[in-house]
Amino acid sequence: MDIQAVFIDIIKENEGLILKVVKVYANTKADEQDLYQEIIYQLWKSFPSFRAEAKISTWMYRIALNTSTGYLHKEKRKGSYLPIDGLLINSTLANDNIREEQVAILYGHIRQLNAAEKGIILLYLDDRPYEEIAAITGFTVTNIGTRLGRIKQKIKDQIKK
Partner 1 sequence: MELEEMKRLWGEMAIEMEKQKKLTSSLITKMITQDYHNKINRLLLPETIGSLGCLGSALFILFNFQQLNTWYLSGCGIASAIILFALPILSISAILTMRSVNIAGNTFKQSLLQYSKCKRQFVFKQKASFYLGAILLVVLLPVMSKLIFEKDIFITQRLWLSYAITFTFFYGFARWVFKSYNKKIAAAEGMLKELEG
Query: Could you list the residues that contact partner 1 (CB under 8 A)?
Result: 4, 7-8, 11-12, 15-16, 19-20, 37, 40-42, 44-46, 49, 62-63, 65-67, 69-70, 72-74, 77, 80-82, 84, 86-87, 90-93, 99, 102-103, 105-106, 109, 114-116, 119, 124-127, 136-139, 152, 155, 159
Q: Which is nearer to partner 1, 19 or 26 (CB)?
A: 19
CB of 132 to partner 1, least distance (A): 12
Please give the C-alpha separations between residue 48 and each of 22, 35, 56, in angstroms, as whole numbers.
Answer: 23, 21, 13
Q: Which is nearer to partner 1, 70 or 129 (CB)?
A: 70
Measured CA to CA, the distance from residue 22 to residue 63 in angstroms comes to 12
Which contacts qualify for 44-48: CB closer than 8 Å, 24 or more apart? 44/7, 47/3, 47/7, 48/3
